[in-house]
Structure formats: C-alpha cells, structure tokens
Chains A and B, each alone.
Chain A
Amino acid sequence: QLRLQESGPGLVKPSETLSLTCTVSGGSITSSSYYWGWIRQPPEKGLEWIGSIYYSGTTHYTPSLESRVTISVDTSKNQFSLRLSSVTAADTAVYYCARFLMSYGSGSYSPAQVDYWGQGTLVTVSS
C-alpha cells in the first residue's frame, strides 16, 4: 500500500523559508505514470494547489506562488521536497503531499487528480 509522509518544522518565522519533505513508501517515485506534489489548506479554509514534479524534474507551479516556490525530487531516497521562501502569516496552513495521476491534452502530459495523500502537516508562520 502506498504511503506518503510529510516531515519538517511546524513553526517558521516570517520572511524565512518553509521547507518540507515527503517520503514515499510502498511504491517508487520514478514510476512513469505519476506526478508528485503539494497542496495546502489554511485553517478553516479551502484547498490550494501549490505545484508538482515529475521524477525527471519537470515542474508545474501555481502562478500566484511561482516566484517563491521550489519543488525538487530525490529519487535515491524516494522523496520530494517543497521550499517556500519569504513566508508570511498567510502561508500558515496544513500542507499535504500528494500523488497526482496524469492527464494528456494539447499534446502534453500534466498533473491531474490526486489519488494518494499524506496525512498533512500544520506549518505555522509566527515570530
């Protein structure tokens, strides 16, 4: 059974960089059929798609966060990571790592629906 587990600091100071890692077990991150990525949910609010990565390194980021976000992959450890720079209180949220299936349209593949989620980790931005 596939399992995704987030890890990283639960408290980050304003203006600093948020860093999280997702460890994948029960399956390989180098599978050709999936993207891997991050979704967040501020307290008592809805879901926000952050971005995704293919094991080869191809990334997709949501435009509103693109200037601050980096998603990377370490295939040797079966892990992928999120870095979000210059954080503010608005970045306080539960961060989920996720596995995305792929859709094919307009001549290219892109991340689609999420079939596996991590349990989520709360990151609070506060001094």
Chain B
Amino acid sequence: DIRMTQSPSTLSASVGDRVTITCRASQSISSWLAWYQQKPGKAPKLLIYKASILESGVPSRFSGSGSGTEFTLTISSLQPDDFATYYCQQYSGYSTFGQGTKVEIK
C-alpha cells in the first residue's frame, strides 16, 4: 500500500492567517492526489484534485501544489468556515487517505 502522511496533525490558527498542510506519499504518485474538507458529522467535501485543480465552486483561497511524493494544501486567508479537518487522498493504484489535519481556532 502507498502510505500518506499528513503534517501537522493539528494546526491552531486565526482568521486571516495563511495556512499550509503537507501530505507526503511513501512512493511517487505523480499528481494523483486530492484534498478534502470534513466538518463534524458531515461527509467530506472535495476541494482539489490532480494535486492542483480547484473543484468547481471551491473558493480561490484554497490552492494545491506538488507532485511525486510531496504535496501541499494552502489556505491563503483563513475564514471562519474553514475550521475543519482536512484529508489528502492518493489514487495511484489502490487509493489511500492521509490521517487528517485538524485546523482549530487559536
């Protein structure tokens, strides 16, 4: 299996902050990576796919970058609605998820 490791596990930030979450793959996955946002009691929501393509309707403050084994999700200016848990997913072969990064209010 391809292991996905996210860092940090928890991130404390304030409204307006620039936030970066990292996802590392145990082997190269090219650009076959997606990012999701999940709020308590809800299904995840797709934010970005193929490492850097913004899903339709997702605010432009979200961006993704990377290829191979290292990827980042950046929120350029954190908004109140962005406090949530974020997951990366690789889909190069069998799909696996990272363990999640909780973005909490500082």
Contacts and interface: CB of A to CB of B under 8 A. Distances in A.
A111 B97 contact: no
Interface residues of B, number: 23
B97 A47 contact: yes
B49 A46 contact: no
Determine which residue in A49, A114, A115, A117 has the highest number of CB atoms from chain B within 10 A of its CB, and name it: A114
Given A46-B99, A112-B32, A120 B91 contact: no
A109 to B, nearest CB: 11
A107 to B, nearest CB: 13
Contact of B91 (A64, A111, A117, A118): A111
Interface in B70-106: 87, 89, 91-100
B94 A112 contact: no
Contacts of B97: 46-49
Interface string B26-62: 0000101010100000011010011000010000000
Nearest to A47: B97
A47 B90 CA distance: 12
Given A103-B32, A112-B32, A113-B34, A118 B89 contact: no
Nearest to B99: A46
A60 B91 CA distance: 12
A26 interface: no
Given A46-B98, A49-B94, A118-B43, A105 B55 contact: no
Interface of A: 46-49, 60, 62-64, 96, 101, 103, 105, 110-115, 117-120
